[in-house]
Amino acid sequence: MSLLGDIVDNFLISIGSISDFLINAILGLRDFIIALFAIAGTILNIMYFMFGMLETFVSIILNPYLLALLLLGTSFYYSAFTGYTRKDMLIKMGIFWKYTFEGIVKIANAVYTLITRLIVGIIDII
* Termini Cα distance of the chain: 96
How many C-beta atoms lie closer than 10 Å to residue 121's C-beta? 10
Q: At what angle do helices 64-82 and 86-125 cross, to 10 degrees?
A: 140
Q: pTM for this structure?
A: 0.50
User: Using one digit for the tens of pLDDT, what is the confidence trace for 98-115?
Assistant: 999 999 899 999 999 999
User: Using one digit for the tens of pLDDT, what is the confidence trace for 1-55?
Assistant: 566 667 777 777 777 788 888 888 898 899 899 988 889 888 999 999 999 999 9
User: Using one digit for the tens of pLDDT, what is the confidence trace for 41-92?
Assistant: 889 999 999 999 999 888 888 888 988 888 889 888 888 888 889 899 999 9
Residue 110: predicted pLDDT:
93
Upper half-sphere CA count for residue 121 (Cβ side, 13 Å): 6
